Amino acid sequence: MLEVIKKYRIFLGVFIVFSVIVLSLFYSALKPQKTLPIYNPADVNPELVDSTVQYKSKYHTIADFSFINQNGKTITQKDYEGKIYVADFFFTTCPTICPKMTANLSEIQAAFANNPKVKLLSHTVFPETDSVPALKAYAIEHKVDDKQWNLVTGDKKEIYTMARKSYLAVKLGKPSELYDMVHTENFVLVDTKRRVRGFYDGTNKEDMKRLIEDITFLAAQ
């Protein structure tokens, strides 16, 4: 038996190595590959979507925009061109979910501090009170990195339109008040092609872990 093994040891060695490679390739082929969905208005809770786009089931992308940030600078879609970013809606005097959402966005900022492909974009839902100085004070208080994170204000109709037609992230407010909206805890993940790739509860730590994983996945593409 030993003589046989010695005689065919090279063949056996090659066979074992070949078998290991084949099994590894087979396992890789069977292993589920991570993917992220591409969201369209028809996929989202209708309460968060403007009625004019609720029917849309494909090719949805974030529209062009123009707002003013905490430094008084005009911010447009060009500032986010080729970037992966997280968008949300808040207001600086919000006493309920906003502090937790901002704290969690600060963690996202820290997690991708050295990645120029990742940015954040927070829109106020009360532009009538959230002036540039108010946003700046809020940014300083929460250690916002101006290079990575914009807090923006602007025309209320434009913010409303972006929130409900592009980001699909806020509810209708009082019917008696034009363009009134109720912001939610949603963080919206947008890819480099301006497509919505995920929604996350901005007050939930487990969702923040998932968001970090999903940003990392997109950044590696």
The total number of structural domains in the chain stands at 2
| pLDDT single digits (tens) 62-114 | 999 999 999 999 999 999 999 999 999 999 999 999 999 999 999 999 999 99
Q: Select the more confidently predicted residue: 25 or 39.
A: 39
Judgement on whether residues 14 and 55 belong to the same structural domain of the protein:
no
| Statement to judge: residues 127 and 211 lie in one domain | yes
Q: Are residues 111 and 192 in the same domain?
A: yes
What does the DSSP assignment read for 7-56? HTHHHHHHHHHHHHHHHHHHHHHHSPPP----B-GGGS-GGGS-TTTTT-
pLDDT confidence of 5, banded at 50, 70, 90?
Answer: very low
In this predicted structure, the answer to whether residue 36 has a pLDDT above a threshold of 70 is yes
**Which domain, by its residues, includes 109?**
41-219
Q: Which pLDDT score is estimated for 179?
A: 77
Domain co-membership, 91 together with 59: yes
**pLDDT tens per residue across span 8-22:** 555 544 545 455 454
Question: What backbone phi and psi angles, to 5 degrees, belong to 110?
Answer: -65, -40
Looking at the structure, tell me whether residues 69 and 25 fall in a common domain. no
Nearest to 103 by CA among 35, 185, 15, 40: 185
Q: Please indicate, yes or no, whether residues 29 and 78 belong to a single structural domain of this protein.
A: no
Q: What is the mean pLDDT of residues 177-197?
A: 91
In the chain, pLDDT over 90 holds for what percent of residues? 79
Statement to judge: residues 7 and 110 lie in one domain: no
Please give the Cα distance from 180 to 156 (Å, whole number): 8
Among 101, 191, 104, 113, which residue's Cα sits nearest to residue 147? 113
